[in-house]
């Protein structure tokens, strides 16, 4: 298959505060873009926020930076998804500003988008939650319930999103009157896909606890805190130190390479 025939991907990330962890995630995003491009896939990659120092850092990595205030959050999501759709790539994939994913996971994603038949949406059913506090060695692995995936690294066929979420402003605006207003915009997209195509279009990759690592800080900015996952129903597969030894980005974070001067 020639390069021009391979599926293309638009990657995006919304960020807000948590400067060091955000920079780690941007660094990871730049690495992911390089990996997909080296595999022959045309990619766009942009981040969305309004912090000048982070804008400068993102652009130093070759990432496009788009301006948007954090509040109201539904408008930020609407702006971002609309922009991703307008890029007209084959797939859209969201990254978060406090996550890294394993090379094995991205290899599975590349294999999936290279299949002859497009997949409406696919992802991993696992992510592992880790505290930024080095004294907290406990980690917890989220496992998919129902048909949802970990939102980080979930791929959507752009043409399917277009058919499912029009108009975007009404879709996200509904969250304003919901008590979970700031907590489930990703789920809103999944519900729209389900209503249009059904649950059977959600394709789960062979999943592993290390597919995605979610870093929880003590800043109070995280939409979901570490305490929300530190429950018996979530398993522990690896300690924090074991996970930090595996991921290059986490070692860099621990070595303060992403600190803002």
Q: In what order do the strands lie in the sheet with 99-101?
A: 99-101, 212-216, 126-131, 140-143
Tokens of 175: 């969250």
**pLDDT tier at 2 (50, 70, 90 boundaries)?**
very low
Domain segments of the chain as ranges: 3-124+148-209
Query: Domain 3-124+148-209's class?
Result: alpha beta
pLDDT > 80? residue 172: no
CA distance 131 to 129: 7
- What Å distances lie between residue 24 and 143, 157, 160, 216, CA to CA? 24, 27, 31, 13
Per the omega criterion (within 30 degrees of 0), is the bond before 47 cis?
no
Q: Residue 186 — pLDDT band, cuts 50, 70, 90?
A: confident
List pLDDT tens digits, range 202-232: 999 999 999 999 999 876 667 777 878 887 7
Backbone φ and ψ for 10, nearest 5 degrees, come out as -105, 115
- pLDDT score, position 199: 93
pLDDT of residue 147: 74
Q: For residues 11 and 32, is the Cβ–Cβ distance under 8 A?
A: yes
pLDDT digits (tens, 9 = 90+) for 112-143: 999 999 999 999 999 999 999 999 999 999 98
Nearest residue to 215 via CA among 52, 18, 4, 11: 18
């Amino acid at each position: 298959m020639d390069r021009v025939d391979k599926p293309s991907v638009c990657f995006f990330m919304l960020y807000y505060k948590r400067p060091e962890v955000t920079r780690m995630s941007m660094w990871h995003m730049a690495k992911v873009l390089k990996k997909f491009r080296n595999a022959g896939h045309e990619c766009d990659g942009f981040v969305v926020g309004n912090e000048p120092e982070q804008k400068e850092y993102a652009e130093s990595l070759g990432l496009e930076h788009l301006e948007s205030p954090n509040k109201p959050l539904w408008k930020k999501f609407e702006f971002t998804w609309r922009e991703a759709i307008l890029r007209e790539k084959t797939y859209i994939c969201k990254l978060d500003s406090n996550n890294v994913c394993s090379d094995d996971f991205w290899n599975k994603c590349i294999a999936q988008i290279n299949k002859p038949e497009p997949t409406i949406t696919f992802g991993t059913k696992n992510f592992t939650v880790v505290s930024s506090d080095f004294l907290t060695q406990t980690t917890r692995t989220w496992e998919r319930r129902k048909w949802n995936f970990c939102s980080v690294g979930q791929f959507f066929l752009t043409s399917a999103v277009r058919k499912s979420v029009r108009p975007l402003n009404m879709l996200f605006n509904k969250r304003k009157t919901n008590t979970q207003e700031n907590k489930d915009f990703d789920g809103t997209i999944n519900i729209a896909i389900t209503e249009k195509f059904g649950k059977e279009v959600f394709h789960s990759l062979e999943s592993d606890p290390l597919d995605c690592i979610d870093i929880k800080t003590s800043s109070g900015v995280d939409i979901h805190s570490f305490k929300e996952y530190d429950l018996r129903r979530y398993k522990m597969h690896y300690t924090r130190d074991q996970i930090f030894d595996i991921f290059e980005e986490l070692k860099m974070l621990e070595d303060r390479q992403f600190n803002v001067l």
